[in-house]
Amino acid sequence: MVQKVVGIIGGMGPLATVDLMKKVILHTPATKDQDHIHIIADNFSQIPDRTTAILGKGVDPCPYMIQSAQRLEKAGADFLVIACNTAHFFFESVKKSVHIPILHMPVETAKFLQENHFKKVGLLATDGTINTKLYQHSCQNYDIEVIDPDMVMQKEVMDGIYAIKGGKSAKGFMSLSTVANNLIEAGAEAIIAGCTEIPLVLKSSEEMVVIDPTEILAKTIIKTASETDKSIQLV
């Protein structure tokens, strides 16, 4: 069976891109190298910060993301994914710039939550993702309530995310786990790790279910790449 080729719009951040690739590899039922999916990754770390741009304080990353998408299409990708939650704010513009489909990580996560009967979840994400309501709207379409951190907790989340980006994983874990526990106490049945850096330090435990959108996306990539029909369902 000939598999489809996946292109990863990456570099947002570099570790998150590698994490997605690793999860695709680990979840692929392969017995030899040739069984693995053909992945083309554009680790384009020069894409400007998504959160600052959404908040009106930085350079628009969309033209850079479009460059990456078109580069991957020319390289032979059959479909694309975006290795960054916040970057999905620019999803429609990027999708219109290419002739191949793009999987949508927040929508795939909402589908997973519904399939596993979650009704109320907490969200840890960047200011950009929170403000654009990427997960809130996606989950609402599947009758799932999302609890956001308050302003004080959200500052703690951002401190944790940028600590991870800066290589300070222990500091990031302390900040994020504190907020996650507060959301669980507020009634969340699980925590969406809605920034691709968060699952690098925050894992499920007996006290907390952590939903990793990157892992969900990785499994969707495997399923999509293995489908014999060249058409891919769009959101």
The widest CA-to-CA distance across the chain, in whole angstroms, is 52
Determine how many CB atoms are found less than 10 A away from the CB of residue 48.
Answer: 15
DSSP H helices in 122-204: 127-132, 134-140, 151-165, 169-185
Whole-number Å distance between alpha carbons of 80 and 224? 11
Q: Which entry of 139, 147, 193, 195 is annotated as an active-site residue?
A: 195
Q: Which entry of 54, 84, 144, 200 is annotated as an active-site residue?
A: 84
Q: Which two tokens stand for residue 171?
A: 């500091």
Determine how many CB atoms are found less than 10 A away from the CB of residue 190.
Answer: 20
Whole-number Å distance between alpha carbons of 76 and 165? 30
84 labelled catalytic: yes
195 labelled catalytic: yes
Determine how many CB atoms are found less than 10 A away from the CB of residue 26.
Answer: 10
Q: How far is CA 181 from its chain centroid?
A: 21
Q: Are 122 and 180 in contact (CB under 8 A)?
A: yes
Whole-number Å distance between alpha carbons of 221 and 95? 17
Closest CA to 49 of 89, 94, 18: 89
- Just list the catalytic residues: 84, 195
